[in-house]
Amino acid sequence: MLELRPNCECCNKDLPPSSAEVMICSFECTFCRTCADSILQGRCPNCGGELVQRPTRPSNLLLRYLSQLSVCTSLRAARQALNLCSMSHLQERKIAMKMT
């Protein structure tokens, strides 16, 4: 049974069990679609596996089969996000400097 982890391991966004915006790898590392597509480019930073959409659990079974409550964070994913943001910020500064 899938754990249905409650957050994106990259940006810490809340990901409810009913969300269709959740991407997982075969080890159930969990990411929001935004991070999976833009930062991670469809690959899990932990295992290198493909990220696919996580199936939703029917609401009538959520209480019977509880999802995981603990928050997960992937250091690799967080570093990639930080590096991407830093690179974007540097590119924006270079563009701004050229315009002045």
Residue 43 has pLDDT above 70, yes or no: yes
Element at 59 (helix H, strand E): helix 59-62
Task: Give the structural domain span for 32.
Answer: 22-99
- The answer to whether residue 27 is domain-embedded is yes
Torsion of CA 81, 11, 58, 56, to 10 degrees: -10
Instruction: Count how many domains the chain has.
Output: 1
Tens digit of each residue's pLDDT (9 = 90 or more) over 69-95:
555 555 666 666 556 544 444 444 444
Q: What pLDDT score was predicted for residue 79?
A: 62
What is the spatial distance between Cα 38 and Cα 18, in angstroms, rounded to a whole number?
22
Residues in Cβ contact with 55 at an 8 Å cutoff, skipping those fewer than 6 apart? 2
In a domain, 9, yes or no: no
Q: Is 11 a domain residue?
A: no
The reply to whether 12 falls in a domain is no
Q: Band the pLDDT of 96: cuts 50, 70, 90.
A: very low
- The verdict on residue 70 lying in a domain is yes
Q: What is the pLDDT of residues 1-29, one digit of tens each?
A: 888 899 999 999 999 988 999 999 999 99
